[in-house]
Amino acid sequence: MLSIFLCGFRKNRSAQHCLVHMIEKMRKCLDKHGQTGVLLTDLSKAFDCLDHDLLIAKLSAYGFDHTSLKLIYSYLDGRYQRTQINSNYSSWARLIFGVPQGSILGPLLFNIYLSDLFISCKSSSIANFADDNSPYSCNKDIDSVILQLKRDSNSLLEWFSINGFKANPEKFHLILSNPDQNLFIEIDGHKILNKKSEKLLGIKFDSKLNFDIHVSELCSKASQKLHALSRIANYMRIKQRKNIMKSFINSQFGYCPLVWMLHSRNLILALIKSMKKVFVSSTMTELPRLMNFFLKINLFLSILEISNF
């Protein structure tokens, strides 16, 4: 029932899974001297836009029986909300859209509602994670890529409109493998210009897929936080330093590493430099772990040299 391309709120379907799948398809195309492009879309309050009646109709189409449909509708129906401004309250209004956020069932219902989205794109694929939907295309020339993205983006806008979502074309972003910034796609009267880099699911993408900008930003943020921590490190225990490192610094390097880590020898060398500072600042007594870390990095470098050869 759920599309295999739905990556949000599902076991073994993380943001990293979504991005790696897209990047590998793009890299295979670029290796064959083709062209690629991705359009980053934007939706307003997607979870609050689910039409209850349309959701029930989709569940019925997917084979839910009458008793199950009544149970789910009773879960959604009968909810009210009002607005408070200072000490003034509006009258209560019945909710006929949206799923309860923070609930267990809400994300599943959202995925079911979104599952037929992928049928609307005939030529492009979609990188999906929750309410982030980015159509991308791989073809032999840039004109074909732009044509496919334009055609499928119009189909996406139509699907969004039919299903009650509000898209914001003025906030869309376009990244093409061709660096020409005069290239663009016109969507719903908005001219979407080609950009060198843009952030998708927390990762800074660039037209060359080398992630230099992303890693540079990671190292810069880590350096700033380490500088701030170094001023108070002498007043803290080693365990406290390690907890801060894990929470504020290591967590950044641990987000989607398969997407950006092994694309360049220079990037790994920059990471080694930053991570060395992390280890030294957190504790001077964990030399074995530090050596093990650098042995793994050297292994990665060797693999890169072999693959580049």
pLDDT tens digit sequence for 17-33: 999 999 999 999 999 99
Average pLDDT over residues 159-184: 94
List pLDDT tens digits, range 97-156.
999 888 999 999 999 999 999 988 888 999 999 999 999 999 999 999 999 999 999 999
Q: What is the dihedral of CA 120, 124, 130, 131, to 10 degrees?
A: -70
Confidence of residue 281 (pLDDT cuts 50, 70, 90): low
Decide if pLDDT at 305 tops 70.
Answer: no
Contact 258, 20 (CB under 8 A): yes
Look at residue 289 in the predicted model and tell me its pLDDT. 53
- Mean pLDDT value across the chain: 85
Report CA-CA distances (Å) from 161 to 17, 26, 157.
Answer: 28, 29, 6
Look at residue 263 in the predicted model and tell me its pLDDT. 65
Sorted by sequence, the CB contacts under 8 Å of residue 49 that are 6+ apart come out as 43, 97, 98, 164, 165, 166
Look at residue 112 in the predicted model and tell me its pLDDT. 94
Average pLDDT over residues 216-229: 82
Decide if pLDDT at 61 tops 90.
Answer: yes
- Residues of the chain with pLDDT > 90, as a percent, come to 56
Q: How far apart are the first and last CA of the chain?
A: 44
Q: What is the dihedral of CA 291, 293, 299, 301, to 10 degrees?
A: -110
Report CA-CA distances (Å) from 184 to 22, 29, 37, 124, 174.
Answer: 21, 21, 11, 17, 8
For residue 163, give both structure tokens: 């299903």
233 or 177: which leads in pLDDT? 177
